[in-house]
């Protein structure tokens, strides 16, 4: 699917493919150290080929990822992964810095939630650094917060889609 950002830029969003491992490396390499830290909670020096291969291979049911790309390059990824709770998946969204604050994160979040719902998934967890105000605000405005706690600088949020009534 192609979406149009608020500045008129078209961006294609599609399911990740196993051969997208290099696209994930490109997204990582075009992201600032702060963006990498906010996504992985550590100062990761590189996205190794093994990590990229694991992240690009999903089953599209319990593990799913969507890639955002322009004609020129991959610019972001949204995903969900299983947790130790069978009815809860973990959400993550990352965008290359130049593509942040353009409405794409909101679109990616909505699309990954929609894909999860189509797969019967209704409850999500997001672990967000407590100082990542933009992501916390995005989750607060786009989802229904069921539970929230902050420990050691990480806010763990249990959520559902707005209007689902899941508790």
- Give this prediction's pTM: 0.92
Burial zone of 9 (CB within 10 Å; 0-12 exposed, 13-18 middle, 19+ buried): middle
Burial zone of 103 (CB within 10 Å; 0-12 exposed, 13-18 middle, 19+ buried): middle
Mean pLDDT of all residues in 19-32: 94
Residue 78 lies in a domain: yes
Residue 131 lies in a domain: no
Q: pLDDT tens digit string along 62-113?
A: 999 999 999 889 999 999 999 999 899 999 999 999 999 999 999 999 999 9
Residue 146 lies in a domain: no
In the chain, the percentage of residues whose pLDDT exceeds 70 is 98
> Count of domains in the chain?
1
Q: Phi and psi of 81, rounded to 5°?
A: -135, 150
Range of the domain at 45: 2-122
CATH number for the domain including 110? Answer: 3.40.630.30
Residue 20, C-beta contacts closer than 8 angstroms, at least 6 positions apart: 56, 67, 74
Residue 87 lies in a domain: yes
Residue 164 lies in a domain: no
Q: pLDDT tens digit string along 33-71?
A: 999 989 988 888 899 999 999 999 999 989 999 999 998
Residue 123, C-beta contacts closer than 8 angstroms, at least 6 positions apart: 85, 87, 88, 89, 146, 158, 159, 160, 166
Query: What are the C-alpha distances in Å from 94 to residues 103, 146, 160?
Result: 13, 23, 20
Residue 8 lies in a domain: yes
Q: pLDDT tens digit string along 129-164?
A: 999 999 999 999 999 999 999 999 999 999 999 875
């Amino acid at each position: 699917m192609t979406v149009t950002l608020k500045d008129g830029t078209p961006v294609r969003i599609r399911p990740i493919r196993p051969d997208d491992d290099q696209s994930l490396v490109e997204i990582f390499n075009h992201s600032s150290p702060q963006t990498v830290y906010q996504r992985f909670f550590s100062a990761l020096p590189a996205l190794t080929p093994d990590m990229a291969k694991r992240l690009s291979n999903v089953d599209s049911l319990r593990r799913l990822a969507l890639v955002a790309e322009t004609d020129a390059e991959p610019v972001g990824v949204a995903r969900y992964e299983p947790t130790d709770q069978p009815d809860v998946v973990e959400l993550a969204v990352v965008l290359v810095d130049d593509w942040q604050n353009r409405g794409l994160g909101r679109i990616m979040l909505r699309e990954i939630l929609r894909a999860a719902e189509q797969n019967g998934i209704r409850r999500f967890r997001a672990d967000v650094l407590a100082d990542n105000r933009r992501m916390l605000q995005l989750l607060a405005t786009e989802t229904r917060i069921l539970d929230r706690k902050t420990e050691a600088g990480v806010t763990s949020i249990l959520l559902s889609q707005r209007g689902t009534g899941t508790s």
